[in-house]
Amino acid sequence: MSKQIDTSGEASRVNTTHSLAVYKKKLQQWKYRKNHKRKEVVGASQPGEPSRSGNEISTTSLGAAESRRKRNGLGGSRRTVKTSPLRMSPNRVSYSEYTPRPRVLQSPDALHIFETLLDSAINYIEGSFGNKTWKMNGMERIITSSSRQESDLEDLHAFLTAVDSRCSYFAACNAYVGGMCWRQAFMKIETLVRSSYHDVIPNIIQKINDLQDQNHVQFAEVLKRHVSQLGTINRPVGDVQASIYKVLASIRLDQMRDLEEMLMNCYSKLFDAYLGDRCYGSFVMTMDSVNRKVLHNKAVDLNDVLPSLSILDTKFGPTDRRALDVLRFRIETLFDRKQYRETHTYCSILIDRAEIITNDEWQRHYFLIKGLYYAGSTALHITGCQPIAEQNLSRCYDLIEHFHKMNFNSRMFSYEQAQVLEHLVQLTCSSENSLAHSKWKTLHDHDQHALSAEDNSMLLWEELSGHIGIEA
């Protein structure tokens, strides 16, 4: 330290011992500080704090601010998770390659927005459990969170499927059909934001991030803005969900990843607190969090983040949906990573387990369809396995049709069904069995015609141009 201490305004005295207060005063003048002051820690996430210079919390991350709050005895957030004596559908899958993006250090204004939204989310979850809007539906089922839950779940799956299909068709340069899927997704938003179904808000935020990860930044911004607008005007004044949707408009796309991580941690911890860790609803939230971590980091070792299959088998049995869901997630991730032979091995395990499910046709169909779809899709990439691919995909298509006829969910598996038809048309194109090719080609053309017939191209392009500024 090159500076000399001068306490009198005159030249420095030699061999003079100063008090501790003098040294502290000088260190403050020189702005040498080990830690931030208590009021600055609080100010990192409080509104109305003036901007400071020097040793500042101006570009700290949310996690750093939270750790400083804890270190200074302020707690992790202004609210405390309350436990209760009280003790979702399977996870969605993104079908795209993830492009890593650098994490952005957040400003104090952004931290305040995040904390406002986090407080609203905590109020929303705790209030929903507290007033019995959300309630347990047994240990082996997801919670009941809506008076029209089956319809809300179907609308949510239709929205998710439409967004995934839109990306797939645009990637295949089929802009018209992709635009139709985009329109279908937008038509579901107004219904979804009116719902109290617990999985709506997390899934919408995740889909916005998925679009951004697939480099559809313009569409991600349009979706975020549209959800915020409809969520604000279609909820009652003062409603806590309306406040969440309203704050969403203030968050930039480069901040959405941090928002998702914070929100999913909030959901997972509160579901554990209210339902207990053995409840299936808590398990689904945990798996959803794992799903997003793996999606955002392709280098994650699945054995480090997934629940142990052997432990789940011991606790709940080999045909329990928890163990089957872990297998499904592992299969989807391995397929996405192009580890096809390992994927095929786990597909066989999932299919064998699903075959022996009794007294639950929904679960049996769901996991058989997933196992057969990935077994067939994987076989396409393994030399000499094309006959196996055709066999698995053909059975998968039949099961999806049966699933829809049983009125489980008419929109679920729409993406998989379209992909199965594409593969079967290609597989049978050079086949000696012309009848099989004719069958799949007819079904494929009918599926495309049904989608295209829902609107005309002029109206579609007018709507899209109004949303994203393109020229018809």
Distance CA 193, CA 90 (A): 21
Assess whether pLDDT exceeds 80 at residue 70: no
Torsion of CA 324, 330, 333, 338, to 10 degrees: -120
Distance CA 423, CA 395 (A): 13
Assess whether pLDDT exceeds 70 at residue 158: yes
66-80, 98-112, 180-194, 437-451: range with lowest mean pLDDT: 66-80
- Give the pLDDT confidence score for residue 409 in this predicted structure: 61
Distance CA 370, CA 403 (A): 12
Distance CA 288, CA 325 (A): 11
Q: Where are the domains of the chain?
A: 1-33, 103-297, 305-427
Beta strands, E only, 27-99:
none
41-50, 171-180, 263-272, 313-322: range with lowest mean pLDDT: 41-50
Residue 189 · residue 173 · CB < 8 Å: no
What average pLDDT does range 2-24 have in this prediction? 54
Of 326, 401, 346, 340, residue with least CA distance to 369: 401
Assess whether pLDDT exceeds 70 at residue 283: yes
Distance CA 277, CA 280 (A): 8
Classify each residue of 269-288 as buried b or exposed e, where b means 16 or more C-beta atoms within 10 Å of its C-beta: bbbbbbbbeebbbbbbbbbb
Please state, rounded to an integer, the average pLDDT across all residues of the chain: 78
308-312, 356-360, 463-467: range with lowest mean pLDDT: 463-467
Distance CA 363, CA 374 (A): 17
Residue 139 · residue 279 · CB < 8 Å: yes
How many Cβ atoms are within 10 Å of 103's Cβ, its own excluded? 12
- Give the pLDDT confidence score for residue 220 in this predicted structure: 93
37-41, 170-174, 307-311, 370-374: range with lowest mean pLDDT: 37-41
135-144, 211-220, 427-436: range with lowest mean pLDDT: 427-436
Instruction: Please report which confidence band the pLDDT of residue 453 belongs to, taking 50, 70 and 90 as the band edges.
Output: low
**Residue-wise pLDDT tens digits, 391-412:** 999 999 999 999 988 876 666 8
- Give the pLDDT confidence score for residue 437 in this predicted structure: 77
Question: Alpha carbon of 447 to those of 252, 417, 422, 444, 450: distances in Å?
Answer: 38, 9, 11, 5, 5
**Residue-wise pLDDT tens digits, 90-138:** 333 333 333 444 444 456 677 788 888 889 999 999 999 999 999 998 8
Helices (H), 380-433: 386-405, 414-427
- What DSSP line would sit under 193-211, residue for residue? HH---TTHHHHHHHHHHHH
59-68, 186-195, 429-438: range with lowest mean pLDDT: 59-68
Instruction: Please report which confidence band the pLDDT of residue 166 belongs to, taking 50, 70 and 90 as the band edges.
Output: confident
SS (H, E, C) 112-135: HHHHHHHHHHHHHHHHHHHCCCCE
Question: Alpha carbon of 154 to those of 150, 167, 360, 400, 410: distances in Å?
Answer: 6, 20, 19, 15, 8
Residue 421 · residue 397 · CB < 8 Å: yes
Assess whether pLDDT exceeds 80 at residue 450: no
- Give the pLDDT confidence score for residue 457 in this predicted structure: 46
Q: Residue 170 has which token pair?
A: 């645009």
124-133, 172-181, 203-212, 237-246: range with lowest mean pLDDT: 172-181
Assess whether pLDDT exceeds 50 at residue 49: no
The better pLDDT of the pair 411, 443 is held by 443
**How many alpha carbons lie under 13 Å from residue 74 in its C-beta half-sphere?**
19
**Residue-wise pLDDT tens digits, 12-21:** 444 556 677 7
17-31, 89-103, 273-287, 326-340: range with lowest mean pLDDT: 89-103
What average pLDDT does range 329-343 have in this prediction? 95
Of 435, 427, 424, residue with least CA distance to 400: 424
pTM: 0.61
